[in-house]
Amino acid sequence: MYAVFFAAMTVVRFAGDRLRGAVVAPVLVAAAAGVTLLGFVLVLLSPVVSEGAQVVVAAGGWALAGAGTALVWPIVIGSLGATRIDPRRLSVVTTIGYLGGFVGPVLIGGLAAGVGLAGAMVLPAALTVLLAAVAPPLVARLLPGADPTTSITDTDTKENAMYAPTLIDLPETRLNYELRGSGPAIALVGSPMTAEEFAPLAEALAADHTVLTHDPRGHGGSVLADRAIGSTPEQRADDLAELVRRTSLGPVAILGSSGGAVTALAFAQRHPELATTIVAHEPPLLELLDDREEQRAMTDRMRRRYAEGDVVGAWGMFFEQANIVVPDGMLEAMFGGERSTSALAEEAFWYAQELPASVRWEPDEEALRRGPRIVLGIGEESAGQLCERTTEALAARLGLTAMRFPGDHTGFVDHPEAFAAQLKDALAYPHALR
């Protein structure tokens, strides 16, 4: 029967990621503990059923116990890992847990020799009742953003407030994400900008917010097994939704900037239940402009130039189209020298897949009106730039007044403290949709 228990545990461990992505952790751990308890009850009842059914009932009980246990253990350990627990203490907890897999059968066997197998099984059944009572509130308390008691204390340094990058596997990609701080949850989203570019802003917000940052698919630590899968706003929104579910942070406020603003708007359309407020900072929605055909042709020429190998020339066209003035020699310094293989691969992926999917995305105005609050943002220094035009075009369609943020298109990098203060105001901005 132990083989049945172990087989069920193995199968569910492999399939459990989808469940952990679809169901919030406290609810799932309570359900898993209930399944485990039901399994042990069936094992206890198996000796008293008809002789022909004993093996079936016992096997079913052990299978349920294995399936439930396989879900509880990763959730509890993952919740501990999401806190600021000393890694050495976490290793002690995991070691005790794994030792239980070896010691448990020996302990049950010893008890069975004295009180019989049915009597011995009362112990794991009782422990499962305790687990069902204790684990759900424990997980809810430990997960970032779920409870204010996980806040950073005054004695902690800023370095200690930073969470180590964490990886999760999704069907199409592996996502690299970070969590900081405590309080109301907010996600900072870029495309192609990674968590690294948002780090200064995240630090500025972490004093009173739980801040989620991640590398979008195909960039940084978020690896795509096959880049041909692409990176559309819908795909990136779905990635973010899975991340919000698995961290049990939702619903969250979201700041998206540039291509990340397009991701955030797609998120509002596809996953409105997971968002409170969407702040879309300078989304490059070229299809909303009166000269969309000319803009489309310029984008195609730029991408062709890049594909032909003129990297510096393509970036020159990019900044010209964006109407952003770049100092002499800067493009050559940034893109003309030797760069890493990974940087070149990510850049090629952006030109080939991510850029056209973002700038040609068209919002569903009715879906946006039905969704979470939306605030549109434009940099104070972005006057005359392309993304001021696209943001104002979206504002006109939605009947909104855009809010001004410090700096220009990359104001969150250049002025993180001031940008953070304005972002907090944006969450209560009166000129929001809804």
Into how many domains does the chain fold?
Answer: 2
Whether residues 129 and 186 share a domain: the answer is no
Whether residues 234 and 158 share a domain: the answer is yes
How many other C-beta atoms lie within 10 A of the C-beta of residue 22?
11
Name the nearest CA neighbour of 45 among 320, 355, 12, 37: 37
Whether residues 81 and 165 share a domain: the answer is no
**Residue 265 and residue 427: Cα distance in Å, rounded?**
16
Whether residues 138 and 169 share a domain: the answer is no
Whether residues 127 and 179 share a domain: the answer is no
**Residue 191 and residue 254: Cα distance in Å, rounded?**
14
Sign of CA dihedral 348, 353, 359, 360: positive
413 burial level (CB within 10 Å; 0-12, 13-18, 19+): middle
Output the pLDDT for position 93: 54
Whether residues 58 and 190 share a domain: the answer is no
**Residue 59 and residue 39: Cα distance in Å, rounded?**
9
How far, in Å, are 83, 414, 416, 424 from residue 421 at the CA level?
26, 14, 9, 5
Domain finish residue from 143, 162, 194: 143
At 173-232, the pLDDT tens digits run 899 999 999 899 999 999 999 999 999 999 999 999 999 999 999 999 999 888 889 999
Domain finish residue from 143, 162, 193: 143
User: Which residue bears the tokens 């461990």?
Assistant: 13
The tokens of 247 are what?
A: 């961290």
Whether residues 87 and 123 share a domain: the answer is yes
Helix runs in 308-351, H state only:
311-322, 330-335, 341-349
**Residue 88 and residue 309: Cα distance in Å, rounded?**
50
Residues of the chain under the 50 pLDDT cut: 17-18, 20-21, 81-90, 142-162
Exposure string for 318-343, b = 16+ CB within 10 A, e = fewer = beebbebeeeeeebeeebeeeeeeee
How far, in Å, are 321, 323, 330, 380 from residue 384 at the CA level?
11, 7, 21, 11
Strand ranges of the sheet holding 403-405, from the earlier edge strand across to the other edge: 166-169, 174-180, 210-214, 185-189, 252-257, 275-281, 373-379, 403-405
Whether residues 126 and 207 share a domain: the answer is no
Task: Indicate which CATH number applies to the domain containing 347.
Answer: 3.40.50.1820
Output the pLDDT for position 371: 93
Whether residues 231 and 294 share a domain: the answer is yes
Output the pLDDT for position 432: 63
Residue 121 — φ and ψ, nearest 5°?
-70, -10
Whether residues 253 and 305 share a domain: the answer is yes
Domain finish residue from 115, 143, 171: 143
The tokens of 139 are what?
A: 């997980």
Whether residues 207 and 306 share a domain: the answer is yes
What is the per-residue DSSP string for 246-289? HTT--SEEEEEETHHHHHHHHHHHH-GGGEEEEEEES---GGGS
| Segments forming the whole domain that contains residue 238 | 148-434
Whether residues 27 and 157 share a domain: the answer is no
